[in-house]
Amino acid sequence: MHQIKVGNISIDVVRKDIKNLHLGVYPPNGRVRIAAPLKIDDEAVRLFAISKLSWIKKQQFKFENQERQSERRFVSGESHYYKGKRYLLNVIYCNAIPRVEIRKITHIDLYVREGSTKEQREKVLTEWYRRQLKAQIPALIDKWQKITGVNVSDWGIKRMKTKWGTCTIANRRIWLNLELAKKPEHCLEYIIVHEMIHLLERNHNDRFVAYMDKFMPQWHFYKEELNRSMLSHEIWSY
């Protein structure tokens, strides 16, 4: 990978064995990346970027102004999200095994030992999110395997700063961002389907879009909802 400049914008250029140029703009800082066919030179890439300059600047502005949470301290009164709903955190100190419970429809109760650090409180809540998300995923994958005919051999959850999901085509494994536990279930479904379709089509080309339109016609709305939702201070959109 190397960089070219268009005005004051630096663009990462990656050459791949592909047929067409692919442009992406990535938060949080509006990083620009172009994947280019092996035979296309930098001047052609630069001219392509110039033709897309208005779109690039529009995306950078959108990401720059997207609402984000401040860094969480995991103390009582903070807002935390689960399945797209806002809850108030209530930290309860006790001499017992740490746990998390949802109380009614307004609070997440976080039970921790007296004197626990911010990192320890975060770990307890994070592992709770992981368990909840892990419980959601199998049924959704099974549902969409039947609809799409795409077989997923394995899946996993991990924290990712730059993607909501990814896949490894060779072993048919999909990975999902832990932050999806905080989003509405239909947004989680959208990312699962998105990654499953990548097992049919690697690139975001017309074929990929046609598959998404066929199997999940409303995916554009889910994508927009996900990318408009409140983000963690360290997570971008998709």
Q: Residues in the chain, how many? A: 238
Provide the pLDDT confidence category of residue 173 given band limits of 50, 70 and 90. very high
Q: pLDDT, tens digit, for every residue of 145-165?
A: 999 999 999 999 999 877 899
Read off the pTM.
Answer: 0.75
Q: pLDDT, tens digit, for every residue of 211-228?
A: 999 999 999 999 988 877
DSSP E strands in 106-164: the ranges are 107-112, 154-158
* Residues forming CATH 3.30.2010.10 domain(s) in the chain: 117-228
Task: For residue 231, give the DSSP letter.
Answer: B
Residue 97 structure tokens? 């095994």
CATH (one of 3.40.50.300, 3.40.50.720, 1.20.1740.10, 3.30.2010.10) for 117-228: 3.30.2010.10
